[in-house]
Structure 1
């Protein structure tokens, strides 16, 4: 597989091909490892990968785990798209699949959700005297917990991009500085 591996060289983009649903009749991985399951969580896929003894299946399950966990940013409790099991039956087709397009769409959608949620909170800027209490509120949710953003997709690529771009943004005065005047580190 080594040098012929499209997934290792670059992420593909393009139209998503039709993938039939995985069943025990048409999908060897489902039949061998998940025959009684209608759905499979990422943690179940991980367990099958770790427990697998068949060298070819280890490779297939590992590729699928990488695609779902790393490229799509799924959490362990989330069910994977069962069609990906069917796609993995043919490794060459799996490697040709436009994972770049799917990963980009997931990353973009999660960023938009985070931005829209923040936009809804601060739709109309209001001039207010900053007090310690109001500053604390802006950094936390209504429950007092720090605000969190869950980025799906390939968030690591976003981190690298931001790491490269932030110094340029600082020169344009687009970067918010910390209290001591430093640009916040992201890595």
Structure 2
């Protein structure tokens, strides 16, 4: 068991009780939307040249890409399940990770967990990417700084220049899957990708993690206030970044929940943990709440047995 797995194991099953950020009597129903669309990634990998596919498989993205290429369908994001864990966040005294409490079990979701789930590079950046190059933006987007994800995808599909298509696909992967914060991309990434070798070794996983983390940390009380102000029966909010990672972390941290709402994929591939799960159908909120109320969901004996079995 390596250092990452050891930390992953012992943090998850530490028995402790801390204060919820939102007290249980304030918990509310909600529907979560996301900007990330995994179809953009599938289009990127399937439509680029075979030599460029090989370059990706030799890059720091290889684990993430290899697992995704072997999945037959896009993974389903469970809005209701994710929300049930967001309202169970506790005050952990740290701003670079979040902790969840379910019954008497506490689980940590931090940068190491994100890396463990996705296999994306999450190290400290060793170089700063320069975004001053405007060639791609000038040539394909008339120099505009307001470029939607849909427009980027359209340009990628019709681009006939092999090198530019690869670069546009990389930008689409980063901006539309890993770290979207709205329906418009960060135009600066079009300049960064011109430094192709540095772009392929840049820790985009680290960037994606902090975008998702800040979205998870957004005030739940503020969401309630907006719901009341708009006279909404149910709260609706969006998560930035790549929310599916948090869902797969739930499966790993609470294996009985993973087996109830997901399907464990047995594979000989050396790929990140998120590619060893396939979500089942998206279930109704009452079904999820009833299951989370079962005392055995966090069974310590079951968890130890499952974790060693699944490593």
TM-score range, shorter chain: 0.5 to 0.7
How many aligned positions are there?
A: 153
**What RMSD in Å do the two structures reach over aligned CA positions?**
3.0
CA drift of 1:104 comes to 0.8
Matches of 2:252 and 2:222, distance apart in 1: 26
CA drift of 1:167 comes to 4.9
The answer on 1:82 being equivalent to 2:187 is: yes
Counterpart in the other structure of 1:153: 241
Q: Which has the higher strand share?
A: 2
Unpaired segments of 5 or more residues in structure 1? Answer: 122-139, 170-176
Q: Is the 8 A contact 2:134 2:191 kept in 1?
A: yes
1:36-62 CA-partner distances (Å, limit 9, x unpaired): 313322222122112211122221111
Match of 2:249, SS state, is helix
Counterpart in the other structure of 2:292: 183
The answer on 1:65 being equivalent to 2:172 is: yes
CA drift of 1:69 comes to 1.0
1:112-167 CA-partner distances (Å, limit 9, x unpaired): 1144536x86xxxxxxxxxxxxxxxxxx9321241123111121110111123345
Cα distance, 1:65–1:2 mapped onto 2, change above 3 Å: closer
Q: Is the 8 A contact 1:73 1:155 kept in 2?
A: no
Which structure has more RCO (C-alpha within 8 Å, separation ≥ 6)?
2
Counterpart in the other structure of 1:29: 136
Matches of 1:102 and 1:55, distance apart in 2: 27
Matches of 1:28 and 1:97, distance apart in 2: 21
Partner of residue 251 from structure 2, selected from 152, 163, 169: 163
Q: Is the 8 A contact 2:138 2:144 kept in 1?
A: no
The structure number with the bigger radius of gyration is: 1
Matches of 1:27 and 1:165, distance apart in 2: 43
Unpaired segments of 5 or more residues in structure 2? Answer: 1-54, 64-118, 258-284, 294-311
Counterpart in the other structure of 2:227: 141
Cα distance, 1:74–1:43 mapped onto 2, change above 3 Å: farther
Matches of 1:18 and 1:110, distance apart in 2: 24
Matches of 1:116 and 1:92, distance apart in 2: 44
Q: Is the 8 A contact 1:107 1:153 kept in 2?
A: yes
- The normalised TM-score by structure 2 is 0.43
